[in-house]
Amino acid sequence: MLRILVLHGPNLNLLGNREQSIYGSMSLESIDSSLHKLGEELGAELVIRQSNHEGELVTWIQEARRDCRGIIINPAAYTHTSIAIRDALAAVDLPTVEVHLSNIYRRETFRQQSYVSGVAVAQVSGFGPSGYLLALRGLCEHVAKSSQTSSREETSPAGGSRISRT
């Protein structure tokens, strides 16, 4: 089964109550529930976590190397400030999709810079809670295509045997 890490950054635990005109009325628990449901349909096991602490997010990203095939992250305010999160994502080299509930490029100037986007395979921004579902579908498809390509590359044309990598 495909295992995906989903990370929610600071203040996302307040969704449903916080600035509803920007972030909507859906709670984080409802978003997570929708993600789990779609994950089951897609054959993906999701590990979902939220933290207001940058270091904790970095640790979870690093731990994902061991048993995850990809990451979906809404870094929230850390999008615009955290080189540590960006570097952790680059270091683990897992396909990552960056998600934002609002369109960060239509917001304040300081929110229009993303340190994460440069190391992500995609960014979903401005679709509200359904952006997470789009990210999950896209990431699962991306990982499946990458696995197929990887399998073809590891097959020897002469004998058809697999070359193991360590």
**8, 78, 100, 132: which one is catalytic?**
100
Query: What single-letter amino acid sits at 35?
Result: L
Query: What single-letter amino acid sits at 47?
Result: V
Laid out side by side, the sheet with 96-100 consists of 44-50, 2-8, 70-74, 96-100, 122-125
The CA distance from 41 to 130, in Å, is 16
Q: Tell me whether residue 78 is one of the annotated catalytic residues.
A: no
The CA distance from 103 to 118, in Å, is 17
**23, 78, 115, 132: which one is catalytic?**
23
**Beta strands 2-8; 70-74: pairing state:** parallel
Query: In DSSP terms, which residues pair with 122 in a beta bridge?
Result: 97
Q: Tell me whether residue 36 is one of the annotated catalytic residues.
A: no
Catalytic residues, which ones?
23, 100
